[in-house]
A and B are shown apart, each in its own frame.
Chain A
């Protein structure tokens, strides 16, 4: 799994509430109850959560770019929506998840910088969202919840066992998906 830019977490830290593990830009991490996963300061990037409620397993990805182009083949798959989503599903299934039980939550894809002209519909954030939803659709993964777009950054906290996802923004109330 290290080849996927993914890291396994969880299970071994059972005493007390473990600190959430940060999923850095362009990587994904797999975790089981009672582990938590976090992404801090998400802008035009997309956070995608794949969760199997029965296996109590989650995989959280921090996607930077929509499609992996030919000359980008040697970059980690976690960076691109088109490669991250299949790699995440494979990682989950390799650790006991079942494909047909896996559902997704999608967060982020904002347009952070404001200009005097109107917002760009082809912003990186929008293209990241589109590519993420396309990759999920291709694998027939249902999207359970979304908090996407807009012009503000987000911080995401996931409880791996339940798939509960907390989305925070500066000066915006806390949402639970």
Chain B
């Protein structure tokens, strides 16, 4: 399952456009400004290449992770820079001086953000492919990108040497906030997802 055909890539980009598009709509309401998306990037990466895709193994990031259960499985990761995460939390009405994840109000606001964006993304994909994608409660990490993503790779490494990474960047139209969605389907779910997408096309 390492080779993705052109039509597979188109299908996975469509997943990203629909999922991230709906999540961007929800985010617009949270931050009070239009959020636009960049063209999605779909790649099959060697496991050791994944940290670089998140900005480098030692890059400090804010990550919200939702496990995906149901008929299709995998992980959705929302990655923000610490200043952008802090700005988002401010727009949600939470006053915080610094990005300290042990601060309950801040952590709770970020998890809520993960809930809103993650569940919007996944329910849109679920409707597209007519399969259930049930999000887990969001987990929060503020740390090195490599350290954050290795848990997701543990879920892949037994079954595959590659991670299929569906990446979409978003940015605020009139402000500074940016971030990225990373959808990593489980290797065991990828063939079924691609099959569903062929049905859609």
Interfacial residues, chain A to chain B (CB-CB below 8 A): 24-27, 40-45, 64-65, 69, 71-72, 75, 79, 110, 112-117, 124, 152-155, 170
Closest Cβ of chain B: how far from A125's Cβ, in Å?
A: 8
Of A44, A75, A113, A170, most B-chain CB atoms within 10 Å: A113
In the complex, whether B107 has a CB less than 8 A from a CB of chain A is yes
A-B contact count (CB 8 A): 103
Which residues of B sit under 8 angstroms from A65, Cβ to Cβ? 154, 157-158
In the complex, whether B137 has a CB less than 8 A from a CB of chain A is yes
CA distance A75 to B157 in the complex (A): 8
Indicate which residue in B51, B65, B108 contacts A41 across the interface (CB closer than 8 Å).
B51
* Chain B contact residue count (CB 8 A cutoff): 32
In the complex, whether B48 has a CB less than 8 A from a CB of chain A is yes
Interchain CB contact under 8 A, B161 and A44: no
CA distance A42 to B154 in the complex (A): 12
Closest Cβ of chain B: how far from A117's Cβ, in Å?
A: 8
Closest Cβ of chain B: how far from A87's Cβ, in Å?
A: 16
Interchain CB contact under 8 A, B150 and A42: yes
CB-defined A-B contacts under 8 Å, sample of 20: A25-B51, A25-B153, A40-B57, A41-B51, A43-B144, A43-B147, A44-B150, A44-B154, A64-B157, A65-B157, A65-B158, A75-B161, A79-B158, A113-B141, A113-B148, A113-B151, A114-B107, A114-B140, A114-B141, A153-B146
Of A24, A25, A45, A72, most B-chain CB atoms within 10 Å: A25
Chain A residue nearest to B137 (CB atoms) is A115
CA distance A113 to B102 in the complex (A): 12
Indicate which residue in B137, B151, B161 contacts A43 across the interface (CB closer than 8 Å).
B151
Q: Say whether, besides A69-B158, A114-B107, A170 and B144 are in contact (CB < 8 Å).
A: yes
Which residues of A sit under 8 angstroms from B65, Cβ to Cβ? 113
Kindly identify, within residues 131 to 145 of chain B, every residue whose CB is under 8 Å from any CB belonging to chain A. Answer: 137-141, 143-145
Q: Say whether, besides A27-B48, A114-B101, A114-B141, A43 and B158 are in contact (CB < 8 Å).
A: no
Which residues of B sit under 8 angstroms from A41, Cβ to Cβ? 51, 57-58, 144-148, 150
Kindly identify, within residues 59 to 110 of chain B, every residue whose CB is under 8 Å from any CB belonging to chain A. Answer: 60, 63, 65, 101, 107-108
Closest Cβ of chain B: how far from A152's Cβ, in Å?
A: 6
CA distance A135 to B143 in the complex (A): 29
In the complex, whether B111 has a CB less than 8 A from a CB of chain A is yes
In the complex, whether B47 has a CB less than 8 A from a CB of chain A is yes
Interchain CB contact under 8 A, A153 and B147: yes
Which residues of A sit under 8 angstroms from B145, Cβ to Cβ? 41
Which residues of A sit under 8 angstroms from B147, Cβ to Cβ? 41-43, 110, 112, 152-154
Of A27, A43, A44, A45, most B-chain CB atoms within 10 Å: A43
Indicate which residue in A64, A114, A154, A155 contacts B153 across the interface (CB closer than 8 Å).
A64
Interchain CB contact under 8 A, B48 and A153: no
CA distance A112 to B145 in the complex (A): 11
Which residues of B sit under 8 angstroms from A44, Cβ to Cβ? 150-151, 154
Chain B residue nearest to A153 (CB atoms) is B147
Interchain CB contact under 8 A, B57 and A112: no
Interchain CB contact under 8 A, A112 and B154: no
